[in-house]
Amino acid sequence: MIPNWLLQRSTLTPDRIALLFQDEQWTFKEANEKALVLAKKLTASGVRQHTRIAIYASSNPQIIWMMYACMHLQCEMVLLNLRLTGKELAYQIDDAAVDFILVEDLLMEKLPITKVSILSFSEINASPEQAIIVATEWAENQTMTIMYTSGTTGFPKGVRQTVGNHVSSATSSVYNMGLVDTDCWLCTMPLFHISGFSMLAKSLLHGVKINLYPKFDVVKIVDELVAGTVTRMSVVAVTLERILTELEVRNAKASPKFLTMLTGGGPVPVDYLKRAAKLDLNVAQTYGMTETSSQTATLSGADALRKIGSVGKALFFNQIRIDEAKKPFEQGEILIRGPHVTPGYIGRFTDKPSQENGWLHSGDIGYLDDEGYLYVVDRRSDLIISGGENIYPAEIENILTSHEAVREVGVCGVEDKKWGQVPNAFVVLSEDVESNELLAFCRKHLAAYKVPHQIHIVGQLPRNGSNKLLRRKLCELLIKE
């Protein structure tokens, strides 16, 4: 059993600052009081303990208090991605079979038509309060959050993340990069992603501040780095590059009080690492996924240039091995084991095993070098990572295939200076159609970041002997064009 994070934290360090947002701040005691009041209002609105609810809101204190209220009620929180289309939202809401959707008022109109009860934040706030009994401890295997990741089949899978998963992730993180009194996480990551949510877990467990930004604002962020008002931050390659440029333009360095720039969501170009080193910026590359509740491996800043291209070693309580590899440098599927690994999926994938004897099959291909450093060679199932967002080709292919003029589709990632990768689609037509019309069709059905940057009309797709699409060969078509 794990003590209720909010009760324990607000008991242990009531007067410490929990959250900074623009000009406001809240202590852990205040955060807990807000959460308790909202939990009572949610109860009066019909939300029951231990039920599954969806949350759809942008990064601001309101969503945090709402999540904390749901923690008190031990609800399973399905965190909806703000960038999804109505169709994508409808799929997740249906698949998760939630009892309620809690929605920020401004986002009400973006919700698809659904039979599920919807509670806007203002409705909840206006509700009376109903007495509740708050659990003082939580079971480790209690599901706290559910996050959807795109699946190889094109159907996103709802990943369960338990109390124990989040605790072990936050603990491994501290064992890896330490913890100091003055710690403050600058959060520009979406809170519906594990990258953002894991900061909330760290804040409550470690008793540290979060400085929350509603969106990425490079000027203000670099102000904070230079002033040393924050100590840790998570970025993806594209945002790291913007920070480096801003520092270079100002001819400034981050304060020595700033300790760690965690960089995840895909590979970081070597050039960025060299620029960061010149600026004495401690960039720690990480490897993780929704199924591992954040980091599973991290490369220390000290090794950043010596082990370029590596994502480091497993965190203390985790284990990583390469399937069937007999010696260093042999490539194979990356297998992950540890208390941070999801117990499984929900919805239509409930029965799909997420592990084999405790080992998660990541789907990614990699190797360990002779010192035990992990290198990721190829992302799982042709996964495209664009600005830190995961895009599965199959999802885009499914949409385009549904267009009447399209016979066959193949999607692959194409290198992009800004985003790392962007999706490109290759289609074989059954009847004449402009590629612009296909793009418009994609925009209607897919989150903006998933829409192919280009659609190439081709005569046939590269396939192997058993007629399986060879997505990696698609790029060669591009060169031939």
List residues near its own copies by CB under 8 A. Answer: 1-3, 8-9, 11-12, 136-137, 171, 174-175, 178-181, 205-207, 313-314, 316-319, 337, 358, 372
Q: Which is nearer to its own copies, 316 or 329 (CB)?
A: 316
- Please give the structure tokens belonging to residue 462: 């590269």
Smallest separation (angstroms) from its own copies to the CB of 180? 5
Which amino acid appears at position 378 of this protein?
A: D
The residue to which tokens 């192997």 are assigned? 464
CB of 184 to its own copies, least distance (A): 14
Q: Which of residues 46 and 372 has its CB atom nearest to its own copies in the complex? A: 372
137 versus 248: smaller Cβ distance to its own copies: 137
Instruction: Identify the CA nearest to 383 among candidates 398, 396, 393.
Output: 393
Shortest gap between Cβ of 284 and its own copies (angstroms)? 13
Beta-carbon count within 10 A of 478 CB: 14
Measure the CA–CA gap between 385 and 125, rounded to whole angstroms.
Answer: 38
What ranges in 340-427 are assigned the alpha helix state H? 393-401
Min dist. Cβ of residue 191 to its own copies (A): 22
User: CB neighbours (10 Å) of residue 178?
Assistant: 11
Q: Which is nearer to its own copies, 175 or 329 (CB)?
A: 175
Q: Which residues pair with 137 in a beta bridge?
A: 3
Instruction: In whole angstroms, give the CA distance from residue 471 to residue 461.
Output: 9
Instruction: Tell me how far CA of residue 134 lies from CA of 4, 131, 177, 195, 207, in angstroms.
Output: 9, 10, 33, 28, 21
Q: Which residue, among 129, 342, 389, has the nearest Cα to 239 in the 3D structure?
A: 389
CB of 288 to its own copies, least distance (A): 17
In the complex with its own copies, the residue whose CB is nearer, 214 or 372, is 372
Cα(375)–Cα(394) distance, integer angstroms: 25
Q: How far is the CB of 415 from its own copies (least distance, A)?
A: 33
The least distance separating its own copies from the CB of residue 171, rounded to whole angstroms, comes to 5
CB atoms closer than 10 angstroms to residue 24: 8
Choose between 207 and 413: whose C-beta lies nearer to its own copies.
207
Strands, E assignment, 66-132: 76-79, 100-103, 117-120
Residue 176, phi then psi, degrees to nearest 5: -80, -45
Strand ranges (E), 318-472: 319-322, 332-337, 355-356, 359-368, 374-378, 384-386, 389-391, 406-416, 420-429, 454-457
> Residue 38 or residue 163: which is nearer to its own copies going by CB?
163
User: Which of residues 11 and 430 has its CB atom nearest to its own copies in the complex?
Assistant: 11
Q: Which is nearer to its own copies, 299 or 425 (CB)?
A: 299
Q: Assign 109 to helix, strand or coil.
A: helix
Which of 59, 76, 297 shows the shortest CA–CA distance to 199? 59
Cβ 117 to its own copies shortest distance, Å:
36
Dist CA 193 CA 385 (whole Å): 14
d(C-alpha 217, C-alpha 400), whole Å: 35
Residue 253 C-beta: closest distance to its own copies, Å: 19
Tell the smallest beta-carbon distance from residue 372 to its own copies (Å): 5
C-beta of 54: minimal distance to its own copies in Å? Answer: 30
Q: CB 183 → its own copies: shortest distance, Å?
A: 8
Q: Which is nearer to its own copies, 126 or 302 (CB)?
A: 302
Distances 342 to 104, 163, 193, 280, 338 between C-alpha atoms, Å: 28, 10, 15, 36, 9
Which is nearer to its own copies, 146 or 314 (by Cβ)?
314
CA 252 to chain CA centroid, nearest Å: 30
* Residue 13 or 51 with smaller CB distance to its own copies: 13
